[in-house]
Amino acid sequence: MSTDTPTIVLIGHGMVGQRFLEALAERGLTATHRVVVLCEEPRPAYDRVQLTSYFSGRTPGDLSLTDPAFIEAHGIDLRVGDPALAVDREARRVTARSGLVVDYDVLVLATGSYPFVPPVPNKDAEGCFVYRTIEDLLAIEEYAKNSTTGAVVGGGLLGLEAAGALKGLGLTSHIVEFAPRLMPVQVDEGGGAALLRTIEEMGLSVHTGVGTQEIVVGEDGAVTGMRLSDGSELATDLVVFSAGVRPRDQLARDCGLDVGERGGITVDEQCRTVTDPRVFAIGECALAADGRVYGLVAPGYEQAETVAATLAADESAFTGADLSTKLKLLGVDVASFGDAHGTAEDCLDVVYSDSRAGLYKKLVIGRDGTLLGGILVGDAEAYGTLKAFTGSVPPVSPESLVLPAGAGAPVQLGPSALPDDAIICSCNNVRKGTIREAVTEHRCTTVPEVKKCTKAGTTCGSCVKVLGQLVNAELEASGVEVDKGLCACFSQTREELYEIVLALRVTSFRDLLDRHGREGARGGDGCEVCKPAVGSIIASLAPTIGASTHVLDGEQAALQDTNDHFLANLQKNGSYSVVPRIPGGEIAPEKLIVIGEIARDFGLYTKITGGQRIDMFGARVEQLPLIWARLVDAGFESGHAYGKSLRTVKSCVGQTWCRYGVQDSVRMAIDLELRYRGLRSPHKLKSAVSGCQRECAEAQSKDFGVIATANGWNLYVGGNGGATPRHADLLAQDLSDAELVRLIDRFLMFYIRTADRLERTSVWLDRIPGGLDHVRDVVVHDSLGICDELEALMAAHVAHYRDEWAETINDPGKLARFVSFVNAPDTPDPVVAFVPERDQMKPDLPLLSIGLRPADDVLEGTATR
Contact (CB, 8 A) for 139 and 39: no
d(CA 178, CA 74): 47
| Alpha-carbon torsion angle 626, 631, 636, 641, nearest 10 | -50
Query: What are phi and psi for residue 594, nearest 5 degrees?
Result: -60, -45
Pinpoint the alpha helices (H) of 149-271: 157-168, 189-201, 250-254
Note the maximum CA span of the chain. Answer: 92
236: nearest Cα among 330, 166, 135: 166
What residues pair up with 373 in beta bridges, in sequence order? Answer: 338, 364
Neighbours of 149 (CB within 10 A): 19
Task: Indicate the SS3 state at residue 687.
Answer: strand
d(CA 452, CA 245): 32
Task: Tell me if 658 is assigned to a ligand binding site.
Answer: yes
Cα 125 to Cα 24, 143, 186, 217, 228, distances in angstroms: 43, 13, 31, 7, 17
Task: Indicate the SS3 state at residue 337.
Answer: strand
Q: What is the DSSP-derived secondary structure letter of residue 482?
A: P
Task: Tell me if 128 is assigned to a ligand binding site.
Answer: no
Contact (CB, 8 A) for 692 and 661: yes
d(CA 167, CA 839): 19
Q: What sign does the dihedral 713-714-718-723 (CA atoms) show?
A: negative
Q: Which H or E run contains 543? A: helix 530-545
d(CA 238, CA 128): 6
DSSP string for residues in 405-465: TTTT--PPP-GGGS-TT-EEETTTTEEHHHHHHHHHTS---SHHHHHHHH-TTSSS-TTHH
Cα 249 to Cα 79, 254, 267, 854, distances in angstroms: 20, 9, 12, 42
Query: What are phi and psi for residue 794, nearest 5 degrees?
Result: -70, -40
506: nearest Cα among 386, 514, 49, 65: 514
Task: Tell me if 487 is assigned to a ligand binding site.
Answer: no
Contact (CB, 8 A) for 173 and 166: yes
Task: Tell me if 692 is assigned to a ligand binding site.
Answer: yes
Residues that constitute the known binding site for siroheme: 696
Residues that constitute the known binding site: 652, 658, 692, 696
Residues that constitute the known binding site for [4Fe-4S] cluster: 652, 658, 692, 696
